[in-house]
Structure 1
Amino acid sequence: MAFALVAVLSGTISSAQAATEGPGGAEVCDLPDEGDLSPGDLPAGSSVVACRAVGRVVAYDGTGVTVPEPGTAVSVSALATDGETHGFKLEVAADGKVSYDLTGADADSSTAGSDVPDVLSKPAQTAADLSQESDLADADAADTSAPGESEIPEADGWAASGACNDGAYSTMDQKEYGSYEWYIGDGGMPGGLSRTDAKWAFWDAVDNITDSSNNCGLSDQVGAEENYRAPTSYEADINSRTMCTDRDGLSTWDAGNLSSGVLAATCSWTWPMPGIKNDLREADVRFNTTDYDFTNKPTRSCRNKYDIRAVGTHEAGHVFGLDHVGSGHEELTMFTSIDACSTKTRTLGKGDVMALRSIY
């Protein structure tokens, strides 16, 4: 793994050595028997095999990931209402050694490479994956508007101008080298939409990324590809604490319960590709319909509802390797928060497009 990732936890190097090397170089681990682990419990340089940490949860900054098998990285990105970045990446090298990216820094800048066929011999078929939830479970009330009201435009002139003059961006250490194959999960959908209507809303959001949709006159030079596959009884592998569970092999978009304060979250699993962007294996997206209301057609009378396609475009940005940008870049799609009833992040700003071009 690149030095930049390991260096994130440079302050824990001594504890990592203490945790992984005993007398005669024998592996020694002292993990809590139960509960979540912290990066300090399983520091960079530890062996997840020797420490029997595969399947345990590492929690950080209000999010968490389930430690994967060697040769896999997993990251979580939460879109929170507090305007702060929440999420991190845990990578397990082929030899079982763990490293972290707690800063969102882009570690590998090269984008050369090719898609590697995914092999998941034992998909995680948990009770949640196979549940047949009611279409009303955790769903919003039906998305309605007053007769004659028109939908808010996707971006007004001021917002478009600000977004088109801001070239800031940040990228993650991941890339979809092939085509992102995705599914619609089971259960209630945001905005009380049917699964069919939710499919089209999500599809539009994903296309906003792959088509470089913008109001800045920037041409589409991005080679990212996607393909909607089908509805599925599986669920997104994200639990109510905004933690990535074991992956099931399907990239699923759905809605349900997340931590309070989190509008939506994306969990991504990649294969480490030293020197180039990691190869995306699976990326799941969940909208938090337990704590927040969503709409697919915000109007001028909209109150306290979040636009499905605006939130979805932001999450699709994470799927294709875009990271958050912070204060001073509020008009960009990948800004750390989204205003209620706003549609402006359906269309990309200059920085969002430049980020995609830098990867694809």
Structure 2
Amino acid sequence: MSISALATDGSTHGFTMEVAADGKVTYDLVGTDTDSSTAGSDVPDVLSNASTTAADLSQESDSADADAVDAGAPEQTEVADVDSSAAAGACSDGAYSTDDHKEYGTYEWYIGDGGMPGGLSRDDARKAFWDAIDNITDSYNNCGYDDQVGARHHYRAPTSYEADINSKTQCTPRDGLSTWDAGNLGANVVAATCVWTWPMPGVKNDLREADVRFNTTDLDFTNKPTSSCRNKFDIRSVGTHEAGHVFGLGHVNSGHQNLTMYTNSFTCTTKARTLGKGDVLGLRSIY
């Protein structure tokens, strides 16, 4: 089990705990081990307790990508342009880190109930999340790299289940569904991903479930940043970063602000929707 949190101040938040077959428990408060091996075979995931009732499957009307206010977010200083200018360009920065897990099969995910970031309907949120996940599985970039990543995903359905992440940005017991939703997280956390894996000795651990939550209690989001955008995080940029964690990418720190997996998220910019050199190389090292 591990959690990765995207912070507003660039600080790194993470925790990883592993339980071996012999019962030995190991943990890391900073980050996870890097394993460059891509060998091994898939252990299919089984979602035996999925809950998709008739009410869950009903579709809400489209909201025309409405950007209603999510919360009374505090004023935040936008530092995207300053920080980015001091860092290497996205297509020349080959930095990356990887976590100790991999999706050997197909990542099957659900949309939770309740409010969505940016005031989107469930259907509009599904489209935004799908696009964000596709950015990872298709290695979407403007650097001329073709897609050599074999990662796959499939949207299943809306569900009454929620992401297994609490208001303290802690993972709670897994429910068997990989759910994307919105709710309350730590005040400085934009979004968080909780990952559960099965141990795979000698290779990367097998992904069993990965939940993603956007912090709509403290922060605001938009699906279409414009010149009038103020203090709102781009849904697809944040979603692409979180999808990177789902598929095994870790954070890169100061000096790599133009990469999707940079530990901070900037407001009113869409640049993280497009992968940089390091993001692509990191995915290739896993898949």
TM-score past 0.5 threshold: yes
Q: Distance in 1 between matches of 2:266 and 2:107?
A: 28
Partner of 1:340: 267
Distance verdict in 2 for CA 1:206–1:124, change over 3 Å: closer
Partner of 1:321: 248
Cα contact 1:160–1:349 (8 A) shared by 2: no
Q: What is the RMSD computed on CA atoms of the aligned residues?
A: 2.5
Distance 2:184 2:214 in 1: 8
Instruction: Give, in whole Å, the separation in 2 of the partners of 1:354 and 1:189.
Output: 32
Identity %: 78
1:274 corresponds to: 201
The equivalent residue for 2:106 is 179
Alignment of 1:37-56 (within 5 A): none
SS in structure 2 of the partner of residue 76 of structure 1:
strand
Residue 307 of structure 1: which of 204, 220, 234 is its match? 234
User: What CA deviation, in whole Å up to 9, does each residue of 1:212-233 have, x standing for no partner?
Assistant: 0001111111100000111111
Distance apart, 1:119 and its partner CA: 4.8
TM-score by length of 1: 0.69
User: Does structure 1 conserve the Cα–Cα contact (< 8 Å) formed by 2:87 and 2:256?
Assistant: no
**What is the deviation of 1:118?**
3.1
- For 2:244 and 2:130, locate their aligned partners in 1 and report how far apart those are by CA, in whole Å: 13
1:341-360 CA-partner distances (Å, limit 9, x unpaired): 11100000000000000000
Which of 12, 15, 21 is 1:88 aligned to? Answer: 15
Contact 2:50 2:177 in 1 (8 A): no
The CA deviation at 1:160 is 11
Does the Cα contact within 8 Å between 1:114 and 1:178 map onto a contact in 2? no
The residue type paired with residue 126 of structure 2 is K
Contact 1:310–1:343 (Cα < 8 Å) also in 2: yes
Any conservation in 2 of the 1:109–1:275 contact (CA below 8 Å)?
no
Gaps of 5+ in 2: 60-64, 69-84
Aligned residues: 264
Write out per-residue CA displacement over residues 61-81 of structure 1, whole angstroms, 9 at most, x where no aligned residue.
xxxxxxxxxxxxx00000011
Partners of 1:159 and 1:331 within 8 A in 2: no
Q: Which residue of structure 2 lines up, in the alignment, with residue 143 of structure 1?
A: 67
Does 1:98 find its partner at 2:25? yes
Alignment of 1:234 onto 2:234: no
Q: Deviations over 1:43-92 (max 9, x none)?
A: xxxxxxxxxxxxxxxxxxxxxxxxxxxxxxx0000001110110110001
Residue 76 of structure 2 is matched in structure 1 by: none
Q: Is the 2:191–2:238 Cα contact (8 Å) retained in structure 1?
A: yes
Query: Which of residues 158, 179, 194 in structure 1 aligns to 2:121?
Result: 194
Q: TM-score, normalised by structure 2?
A: 0.86
Partners of 1:105 and 1:256 lie apart in 2 by 26
Question: Residue 294 of structure 1: CA displacement?
Answer: 0.2
Instruction: For 2:157, give the aligned amino acid.
Output: A
Aligned-pair distance for 1:95? 1.9
**Structure 1 residue aligned with 2:72:** none
Matched, 1:246 2:173: yes
Matched with 1:203 is 130
Query: Which structure 1 segments of 5+ residues have no match?
Result: 1-73, 126-131, 136-140, 145-157
- Cα–Cα, structure 1 residues 345 and 256, in superposed 2: closer, same or farther, change >3 Å? same
Decide whether the 8 Å contact of 1:306 with 1:342 is kept in 2: yes
Shift of 1:124: 11
Q: CA deviation at 1:117?
A: 2.6
Work out which structure has the larger RCO, using CA pairs closer than 8 Å and 6 or more positions apart in sequence. Answer: 2
